[in-house]
Amino acid sequence: MNYMLPFFLAIVYFFIIYLLWIQLKKLKDEVSFLPKKVENIPIHPLVGSRIQELHNFGRLSLTNSITILIFSDTTCPYCSVALEEFIQKIHIPFGIPFKVVLQAANENERIDYVNLYGDYFEVIEHSDKLIKIFKLTQFPTFVVLDQQGTVVQVVGSTNEILKSHFQTLKSSLIQYDKTATN
């Protein structure tokens, strides 16, 4: 009979471990439905700054809910593609006003760019000093401004603008449709 006690205890321990394993598996399944930890996305140092305090761009049209400054470079191979994508995805459907702030490698490139795009939107020249003021690290860079001229976002693609400002763009589209029909 003494030899049965250790065998009985082993079965009880195994049964307890099995029940704990089942509970752990259920907890893992429940936890898998919880949202994943969101990484801290660094906020650009310009966010919250008033654009006119950083640089005098002249009269910016800030009548819409948002306005976008697109910083571009004539030597950037992706900039013209990103500009066309922006025009197709955001400017045409939503009527969001924008200006291109251009850095040209030389005067001929600047003239060619203005001749190519100048009829469609305003092109503003900028310098290396302006890039330092705006703390730009890449081209193109899209600076999203609110109605007061405050920087609300600095991003590198039109998709990021669409994701983060969808509701604003949607209300802007409604506002744009109302003004277009009047």
Q: What is the pLDDT of residues 97-131, one digit of tens each?
A: 888 888 888 889 888 888 888 777 888 877 677 77
* Dist CA 149 CA 146 (whole Å): 5
Edge to edge, the sheet with strand 141-146 lists 123-125, 98-103, 66-73, 141-146, 151-155
- Can you give the pLDDT at residue 16? 93
Residue 69 CA: distances (Å) to CA of 22, 109, 140: 56, 20, 10
The more confidently predicted of residues 85 and 157 is: 85
Mean pLDDT of 63-77: 80
Look at residue 54 and tell me whether its pLDDT is greater than 50.
yes
Q: What is the pLDDT of residue 1?
A: 57
pLDDT at 166: 58
SS3 96: coil
Q: In the prediction, which pLDDT does 176 show? A: 46
Task: Report residue 17's pLDDT band, with 50, 70 and 90 as the boundaries.
Answer: very high
pTM: 0.64
